[in-house]
Structure 1
């Protein structure tokens, strides 16, 4: 079964594009969602995170994301240690999930697909882009982030130009109707290649 890696900068519309593929019957694995589930449900991961950040990392068995974020944003070593706990577990979980799917191809959606080398495990990679102003507006609407917070998060991701060097396909997500059409066209292409 073929794997399409789907990525894009924060606010580019990865989740929207993933939803369009779901509408076409393609199974979608969203790495960030699965990572959150594993942080909540996997006892080994919980123990490793508590060892890294202390008991405050969890409140009543639930990860304190704000506390964890405050510990890693600005401390690259801690961020790498956290990623070293979560990313291998997510990758293993994806392989198990993939075996249960019945489709010509599946989608692996991850924000840092290129940055962490996950793209190498995909047969094809799709980069979603959007104008900077549109990305900022989406994020401010979604979670009331300030421009400074958004720029800080963006600084942890590669530029679209750098990602484009590794991508096989591109969709610019400016107008939803055109994005949906681009997804349908790519779907047809992938069916031919799968």
Structure 2
């Protein structure tokens, strides 16, 4: 694999509120799988004193919070819905995010490593992965769960969803799918089953 990475790397994604973070957290906490979270990396690269932070504040002074950090809610509300502004922001953040992700994945080990990202396909990060897993939920469930989790209104959630791949396109691109239309307990069991099958598959292919 390019970028100095050697497999196996599993990309985990899903629409907003689909449960992808629950899955990646379970893989890490129960099975010790190293997880690189693209959302966490995205926050790290725009921390104060980082080059991306300086560029964003210079372009959008209103995005600077009183505590000296970026106001991410302001960015979600005033930048992401605007295609021109969003593309500019992505041109600043995506290269920095990718560089950090590659470095973190390269330094990790284990039976496989996970890159969890809401824009795995859209951003091209799937190119870093040997296989992809989509955590799937009905769009109505995505909206309800995201509203409960973040306290945002349905309109903002819908805007975010409109910037992500449609559900059917995401499912068609997936190598593996976990159904999260049921309970949290069912999601845990499905994730455990997937892990054991995937490790077995990797072991068999290595022989």
Say whether 1:56 aligns with 2:62: yes
Q: Following the alignment from structure 1 to structure 2, what is the Cα–Cα distance between the partners of residues 45 and 168?
A: 33
Residue 160 of structure 1 deviates from its aligned partner by: 1.4
CA displacement, residues 59-97 of structure 1 (integer Å, 9 cap, x when unaligned):
342001122223313311110111111111111111211
**Map of 1:115 onto structure 2:** 122
Say whether 1:182 aligns with 2:185: no
Say whether 1:75 aligns with 2:79: no
Q: Is the 8 A contact 2:81 2:159 kept in 1?
A: no
Q: Is the 8 A contact 2:13 2:116 kept in 1?
A: yes
Say whether 1:37 aligns with 2:44: yes
Residue 116 of structure 1 deviates from its aligned partner by: 1.7
- State the aligned residue count: 193
Q: Following the alignment from structure 1 to structure 2, what is the Cα–Cα distance between the partners of residues 31 and 116?
A: 11
Stretches of structure 1 that go unaligned for 5 or more consecutive residues are: none
- In structure 2, do the counterparts of structure 1 residues 25 and 42 end up closer, same or farther at CA, with 3 Å as the change threshold? farther
Q: Is the 8 A contact 2:41 2:97 kept in 1?
A: yes
Q: Following the alignment from structure 1 to structure 2, what is the Cα–Cα distance between the partners of residues 83 and 166?
A: 22
- In structure 2, do the counterparts of structure 1 residues 147 and 57 end up closer, same or farther at CA, with 3 Å as the change threshold? closer
Q: Following the alignment from structure 1 to structure 2, what is the Cα–Cα distance between the partners of residues 182 and 31?
A: 23
Over aligned residue pairs, what C-alpha RMSD do you find? Answer: 1.7
Q: Following the alignment from structure 1 to structure 2, what is the Cα–Cα distance between the partners of residues 109 and 31?
A: 6
Stretches of structure 2 that go unaligned for 5 or more consecutive residues are: 1-6
Q: Following the alignment from structure 2 to structure 1, what is the Cα–Cα distance between the partners of residues 147 and 94?
A: 27
Q: Following the alignment from structure 1 to structure 2, what is the Cα–Cα distance between the partners of residues 16 and 128?
A: 10
Q: Following the alignment from structure 2 to structure 1, what is the Cα–Cα distance between the partners of residues 23 and 160?
A: 21
Q: Following the alignment from structure 2 to structure 1, what is the Cα–Cα distance between the partners of residues 16 and 163?
A: 10
Secondary structure of the corresponding residue to residue 10 of structure 1: coil
Residue 135 of structure 1 deviates from its aligned partner by: 1.9
Give 1:96-107 correspondences, 5 Å limit.
96-107=103-114
Secondary structure of the corresponding residue to residue 112 of structure 1: coil
Residue 40 of structure 1 deviates from its aligned partner by: 0.9
Q: Following the alignment from structure 1 to structure 2, what is the Cα–Cα distance between the partners of residues 101 and 74?
A: 35
CA displacement, residues 118-162 of structure 1 (integer Å, 9 cap, x when unaligned):
112210000111122322221221122222222122111111100
Q: Is the 8 A contact 1:3 1:106 kept in 2?
A: yes
